[in-house]
């Protein structure tokens, strides 16, 4: 039996791997550039499966428009762009890749921390201008002895916490859904959100984007942070109010920020880009060649399982909270 599989945005998927896996079920693959619900709905009308990235909106209207849809595969971890409850109610399975890029994102988080703390972009620009002056990066604080606060404590934050071992830092975390023993196993102290903000030299965000977390780093949260603190976001751009972040940085109420994800992607001509205290990357924390192949294989194989009437390995529960 032949199946129709619609795929949005192939940048996160390895084409050769995807073809090899989907050919096993004689699948016809249609690649679309659509992101908005109306366009996605038109594309999936006769599709058996839909595989999407973070930017493609799979709303209840999209689910309703799909006559034969059996499964939505999220090429990644977060499913905030998918109406999972609407899909489940319609008998459509939703699968994701819960182990996706854990190694890459935790490493990239470290890279942003070090780039910000050690002022690497500032020194790089200075040297390339023909200068050779250590003081252009003043002040630089020592990582050892600092407190790192993790907002959410799922797989990504856990891996980052494990990598922090050996750096002589204290690690605290806020996650109302994670069992405390999971934090204790890694020497992480569970704390209230307000305590984390007040006590941390570095605040690293790892939460999904939900109604509960959207804009959680607002003017009030930034005001609670230390004036020399560093904010790092490799999770979701919508967690941070960027206007409030800019105000905090320019008023001296925050030391710096490392941002891989943004409120709008691409962010356009943001005033944050004028600040030396901000280090940016283009939502690339997920990427390595190995992670791209693993992602493609995992999500495509789970989609095949559903199409064959088998149980998927990574079903998404509509009640799932933070990851």
Nearest Cα neighbor of 152 from 77, 58, 263 is 77
Distance between CA atoms of residues 134 and 123, nearest Å: 8
Tell the residue number behind the tokens 């320019």, with chain if given: 250
Report the C-alpha dihedral over residues 50, 55, 60, 65, rounded to 10 degrees: -50
Q: How far apart are CA 52 and CA 300, in angstroms?
A: 11
Give the single-character DSSP code of 58: B
* Active site annotation includes 265: yes
- The residue annotated as part of the active site, out of 283, 292, 294, 305, is 283
46 C-beta neighbours (distance < 10 Å), count: 12
Cα gap 257→229, rounded to integer Å: 9
Among 16, 265, 310, 313, the one annotated catalytic: 265
DSSP string, 267-285: --S-GGGG-TTEEE--S-T
Cα 76 to Cα 46: distance, rounded to the nearest angstrom: 24
Residue 310 among the catalytic residues: no
| Residue 258 parent element (H or E) | strand 256-259
Residue closest to 171 by CA, chosen among 113, 239, 253, 220: 113
Question: Do the strands 27-32 and 71-74 form a parallel or antiparallel pair, or are they unpaired?
Answer: unpaired
240: left (phi over 0), alpha (psi -120 to 50) or beta: beta
Please report, to the nearest 10 degrees, the dihedral formed by the alpha carbons of residues 49, 54, 55, 59 taken in order: 50
Q: Is 283 one of the catalytic residues?
A: yes
Q: Is 121 exposed, middle or buried (0-12, 13-18, 19+ CB in 10 A)?
A: middle
Catalytic residues: 236, 265, 283
């Amino acid at each position: 039996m032949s199946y129709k599989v619609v795929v949005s945005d192939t940048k996160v998927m390895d084409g050769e791997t995807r073809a090899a896996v989907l050919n096993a079920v004689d699948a016809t693959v249609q690649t679309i550039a659509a992101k908005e619900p109306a366009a996605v709905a038109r594309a999936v009308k006769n599709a058996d499966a839909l595989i999407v990235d973070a930017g493609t909106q799979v709303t209840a209207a999209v689910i309703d428009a799909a006559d034969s849809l059996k499964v939505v595969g999220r090429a990644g971890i977060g499913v905030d762009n998918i109406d999972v409850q609407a899909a489940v109610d319609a008998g459509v399975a939703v699968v994701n890749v819960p182990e996706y890029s854990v190694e890459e994102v935790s490493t990239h988080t470290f890279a942003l921390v070090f780039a910000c703390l050690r002022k690497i972009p500032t020194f790089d620009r200075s040297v390339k201008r023909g200068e050779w002056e250590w003081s252009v990066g003043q002040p630089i604080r020592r990582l050892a002895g600092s407190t790192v606060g993790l907002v959410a404590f799922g797989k990504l934050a856990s891996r980052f916490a494990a990598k922090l071992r050996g750096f002589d830092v204290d690690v605290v975390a806020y996650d109302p859904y994670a069992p405390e023993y999971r934090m204790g196993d890694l020497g992480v102290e569970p704390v209230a959100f307000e305590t984390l903000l007040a006590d941390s030299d570095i605040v690293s965000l790892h939460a999904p984007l939900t109604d509960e977390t959207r804009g959680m780093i607002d003017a009030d949260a930034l005001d609670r942070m230390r004036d020399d603190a560093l904010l790092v976001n490799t999770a979701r751009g919508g967690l941070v109010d960027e206007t409030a972040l800019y105000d905090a940085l320019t008023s001296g109420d925050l030391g710096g920020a490392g941002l891989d994800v943004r409120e709008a992607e691409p962010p356009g001509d943001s005033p944050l880009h004028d600040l030396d205290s901000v280090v940016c990357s283009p939502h690339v924390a997920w990427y390595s060649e190995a992670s791209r192949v693993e992602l493609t294989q995992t999500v495509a194989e789970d989609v095949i399982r559903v199409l064959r009437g088998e149980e998927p390995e990574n079903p998404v529960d509509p009640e799932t909270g933070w990851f």
